[in-house]
Amino acid sequence: MSRDTLFLLEPGFTRPDHPADQRFVCPHSNLLEGLLAVQPALAKRIAIRRLPFPRPRQTVVELLGEENQSLPVLVLDPASPLPAGAREHAGRHFLQDARQIADYLAQQYGAYRL
């Protein structure tokens, strides 16, 4: 990874425990989708990956371990400053709270604050 990478759940996902025609969104990912919508330049400064709902989310598991595959998650570039509250797995630092992610994006990239 050469920059901070934000992993979000794809909007409009289905769940195996609900009827197939019922669609869902993740409120935590949607908070960040809203931030990206009003600040499109931000999307050019970080990497964004939208993943399907089912687990395991192998891309995230490979980076952060099976226990840290909840989304949204911001995986920090090794050159990025470490914010308070950053977690670590196998030498990678990450944030997993949507508001904390938004605050970090505001501080690092001048995004709007929540």
81 in any annotated domain: yes
Q: Which regions in the chain score pLDDT beneath 70?
A: 1, 114
40 in any annotated domain: yes
**Owning domain of residue 40:** 5-12+22-109
17 in any annotated domain: no
CATH number of the domain enclosing 82: 3.40.30
Total number of domains constituting the chain: 1
Q: In the sheet where 87-89 sits, what is the strand order?
A: 47-51, 5-9, 73-75, 92-95, 87-89
Task: Record the pTM.
Answer: 0.94
The pLDDT of residue 36:
95
Task: Give the Cα separation of 19 and 74 in Å (integer).
Answer: 31
The pLDDT of residue 80:
96
The pLDDT of residue 113:
74
55 in any annotated domain: yes
The pLDDT of residue 17:
93
The pLDDT of residue 22:
95
91 in any annotated domain: yes
